[in-house]
Amino acid sequence: MDPVRVVPAWQAGAIKAAVEALQRGQVIALPTDTVYGIGAHGFLAAAIEQLYDIKGRDRLKAIALLLGSAADVQRVAVRVPQTAWRLAERFWPGALTLVLPRGLAVLDVLTGGGDSVAVRVPDHAVALALIRALGAPLAATSANLSGQPEACTAQEVLEALGERVPFVLDGGPCPGGVASTVVDLTVQPPLIRRPGPLAEQVQALLSAHSA
């Protein structure tokens, strides 16, 4: 097995090399505003399958899509409620994941057999540069084995996953360190599925608009 390639994110050509790896169907590790993630091209089923294998993740658990902007929601979701746009305007880019009705472009392997898709716009320059250069959503989950602590540095990714991931984009320590807040907008009233760092602010906005 080839050694893991660890590339400093600000090195010339780093983003281009990461994009090329994703386009070849490889899984890479990358920094986000919350924790390090492992990512695959969001429209390549075989690459997304690798995410599950690397992490040891239950196939019935969906994997989120990281987007380059709020406008990209319409590429992967349908019947997007006005509440979703309000939340996106307030908290994106940021540590908020929205669960929405899935669009036709979303692969079955990504959703755990469900009818929804989880989406987020990360507030991290490296992650955004990568997604925008890729020109497609990035299927991403935290860079750790299921049930283990999240990784907040490239070194912690290597310690957690070893040679399972061939390419690590090293952007330094992640500033957040806590997985994102998850809000399910496919139910009424909307439900916070994972508290994360923004739960109180999100609940306040939801309550204000339901009053």
Q: What is the per-residue burial (b if ≥16 Cβ within 10 Å, else e) of 179-188?
A: bbbbbbbbee
pTM for the complete prediction? Answer: 0.96
Distance CA 171, CA 32 (A): 9
What is the per-residue DSSP string for 167-184?
EEEE-SS-S--SPPEEEE
Report H helices in 27-66: 45-55
Chain centroid to Cα 27, Å, comes to 13
DSSP H/E element including 204: helix 199-210
pLDDT of residue 31: 96
Distance CA 106, CA 156 (A): 31
At position 167, the amino acid (one-letter code) is: F
Distance CA 147, CA 61 (A): 13
C-beta of residue 179 within 8 angstroms of C-beta of residue 186 = no
pLDDT value at 40 more than 60: yes
- Number of Cβ atoms within 10 Å of the Cβ of 82: 8
pLDDT digits (tens, 9 = 90+) for 97-149: 999 999 999 999 999 889 999 999 999 999 999 999 999 999 999 999 999 99
Q: Chain-wide mean pLDDT for the chain?
A: 95
Quick check: helix, strand or coil at residue 6? strand
pLDDT value at 211 more than 80: no
pLDDT of residue 178: 87
Quick check: helix, strand or coil at residue 20? helix
Q: Angle at the Cα of 65 (from 62 to 66), degrees rounded to 5?
A: 145
What are the sequence ranges of the domains in the chain?
5-210
Is the peptide bond preceding residue 189 cis, with omega within 30 degrees of 0?
A: yes
Tell me which CATH homologous superfamily contains domain 5-210.
DHBP synthase (3.90.870.10)
